[in-house]
Amino acid sequence: MGLERLTGLIAFARAGSLGSFTAAARSLSISPSAVSKSVQRLEQRLGVSLFTRTTRSLMLTPEGRELHERAVRLLRDAEEIEQAAMAARSEPSGPLRVAAPLPIGVHVIAPALPAFRRLHPKVTVDLRLNDRMVDIVEERIDVAVRIGELADSGLLSRRLAPYRLCCFASPDYLAARGMPMHPNELDGHDTVLLRYQSSGQALRWPFRIGGRLVEVVPPAGIVVDVSDALIAALSAGGGIGMAATFVAGPHVARGALVPVLADFAVERNNITALWPESRHTNPAVRAFLALLQTVFQERMTAAGFAV
């Protein structure tokens, strides 16, 4: 099989799995036009139409669906051969694709990458931060970090740490408006809410009150969809807001924020690392999992003490 035909199969498999040339191009780090041309050349060689194209959608034809399943299997087999060859080398090396939610990537993973690279200079890390749930297998992610309980996906996993959700505000705001001592006293306070980009829903504030878990969504004058914007608004005196302690902890340590209603804070869910079984013997993956275990334990412990 020529290299050009293999390139076409890769583009076809990825576009069929992700449902668009643009998404396939993003996952392959090439242009959408390159994906489209590769698929067109493959169609010409095979003599069949693989996709039904409209201005708004891209759908596999019946012939395309049958060939897509075979193409995906072929490429997975090829990838497993590559991973086995990499595992034969004891020193971690090669590209490592990592996916994570934005706040974890920014506040926990990215700061640890320089030290990781000093230990393993032959590894190149491609960190992809997104609020959506990526398809680990189809997008060829080596390690993904996710928040919350996970459904059985057939992927290998390792729990890294729990995390706490707590309210925070700036010292100046609290000096002017007072410190609430119970969640019921939030009425009348300015609040800043976090809205999830993936669902458009606001984060419900959980409180542990008398052995019960109570969730509220207070009326807010400011709503943001990135945790860093939430912290910035709170630090500037925007009111009271809820954030994960690993995000707010450094700001508490330097005095920009103060924990609010910490006695009612809730430990919630788990942060978990996921990786395909085909990556299990990859030295770079093993080294990165060890890094995650260490850095999350250190960061979460420090954040827990901070609040």
Residue with the larger pLDDT of the pair 281 and 60: 60
With cut-offs at 50, 70 and 90, classify the pLDDT of residue 305: very low
With cut-offs at 50, 70 and 90, classify the pLDDT of residue 259: very high
Q: What angle do CA 125, 247, 99 make, to 5 degrees?
A: 25
Task: Tell me what pLDDT residue 306 has.
Answer: 41
Sort residue 2 into left (φ over 0), alpha (ψ -120 to 50) or beta.
Answer: beta
- Identify which of 289, 24, 278 has the alpha carbon closest to the alpha carbon of residue 139: 24
Rounded to whole angstroms, how far apart are CA atoms 200 and 1? 46
* All domains of the chain in start order, with CATH: 3-88 (1.10.10.10), 94-162+269-303 (3.40.190.10), 163-268 (3.40.190.10)
DSSP β-bridge partners for residue 167: 242, 260
Q: How many residues does the chain have?
A: 307
149 DSSP assignment: -
The predicted-structure confidence for 63-116, as pLDDT tens digits, reads as follows 888 888 888 887 777 777 776 666 555 688 899 999 998 889 998 999 999 999
DSSP β-bridge partners for residue 208: 213
Rounded to whole angstroms, how far apart are CA atoms 166 and 304? 10
The predicted-structure confidence for 167-205, as pLDDT tens digits, reads as follows 999 999 999 999 999 999 999 899 999 998 877 889 999
User: Strands (DSSP E) along the chain, which ranges?
Assistant: 51-53, 58-60, 94-100, 123-129, 143-147, 156-169, 191-194, 205-209, 212-216, 222-224, 240-244, 258-260, 266-275
φ, ψ at 265 (rounded to 5°): -65, 150
The predicted-structure confidence for 114-139, as pLDDT tens digits, reads as follows 999 999 999 999 999 987 777 787 78
Please tell me the pTM assigned to this model.
0.64
Q: Once rounded to an integer, what is the mean pLDDT over residues 247-269? A: 90
Rounded to whole angstroms, how far apart are CA atoms 129 and 92? 23
Rounded to whole angstroms, how far apart are CA atoms 87 and 83? 6
